[in-house]
Amino acid sequence: MSDTHAILEACASPSGLAAELEPFPCEGPLALRFSKNPFLMAPMAGVSDAAYRMMARAGGAALAYSEMVSVTGIHYRSQKTWELVEPDEAEPDLAVQLFGADCDHFAEAVGKVCDRMCDKLALIDINMACPVPKVTKGGGGSALLDDAELAARIVRTCVGESSVPVTVKIRRGRRMGEEVAPEFARVMVDAGAAAVAVHGRYANQMYRGEADWGVVARVAEAVDVPVIGSGDVSGAAEAVRMLGECGCAAVMVARGSYGNPWVFGQARGLLAGDEMAEPDPARRIAAFCEHVRLLDATDAHMARGRSLAGWYLRGLPRAAYWRGLATSCVTLRDYLELADRLRAEMGEA
């Protein structure tokens, strides 16, 4: 296995950023953390594995989240579930996002995650936002928006078992035209939530249409804990704009980080008044190589590199051609050879 520490150090990362930003006017450990760097890598199912998280942290993210983790999977001792939880040794810390609808399973899961991760655990986040039917049909994810009483019991249960802050992620509401987020957030905070992340779409919108950032501002006005904005943050400029317009303490970047681990550092630089240039093609190819090396080093399925190729090589000459070649890559060597061929072609241009 490769030395992930060495690979992490080699990842392109921002430099010369301000060490401190203005404190956010909320109390608690998360407010202090977000005052130093308010740009977070969002939890993304099938995306935010250890390699992805390390690239985001190297690119300037203050915090990275695990993929969604089933509390029922932990209850039944699923090794695949635990693989989603445990950070790589090179990761500084990790926010673990849990989903489910059973209070007993949540209590068990939180206790086990805290015991196993110790000081690598930054916070526990409860997913109350996922709109995917396989999650909601069991009462988890955005289905909890229809049952604030159960959601509050889950929060209280998790707070009672956790050694770290417990947060929640919600959506605007379950169905179009039925906004519940501000009042729902108040109930979650009363139950002990240390922060609330808000995605600006209704659950039945899935990821269609535009996110309404106004609901982020309304939730921020409704509660006295840090609020994290989410939805349609496609780049550094949008991240900084959401922070300024919505009165939130932090911003989650999800799809805007695809092939762009620099987005977090760029956003922090903009906030500090420094413009950061977009990475040139050579840097994008180098970052792609580092990312697939991290996939290999962390024993991830190398097929994930095919998606990475599509993201990192987007906008390069003959990008569609190179993406097509990437679909045949199986090993680390395949991806690195593809990158070498791309460099050679660009050198001839």
* Structure token pair of residue 13: 């990362």
Q: Is 289 noted as a catalytic residue in this protein?
A: no
* Structure token pair of residue 60: 């300037």
Tell me the C-alpha distance between 183 and 16, whole Å. 41
Contact 201, 169 (CB under 8 A): no
Q: Which amino acid is at 14?
A: P
| Beta strand 227-230 pairing with 250-253 | parallel
Q: Which residues pair with 55 in a beta bridge?
A: none
Helix (H) or strand (E) holding 68, with range, is strand 63-70
Of 26, 103, 118, 130, which one is the catalytic site residue? 130
The single-letter DSSP state of residue 255 is G
Helix (H) or strand (E) holding 265, with range, is helix 263-271
Q: Which amino acid is at 346?
A: M
Q: Which residues pair with 95 in a beta bridge?
A: 65, 123
Longest dimension (CA), the chain: 64
Helix (H) or strand (E) holding 287, with range, is helix 281-297
Q: Which amino acid is at 190?
A: D
Q: Which residue has the tokens 């209850």?
A: 75
Catalytic site positions: 130
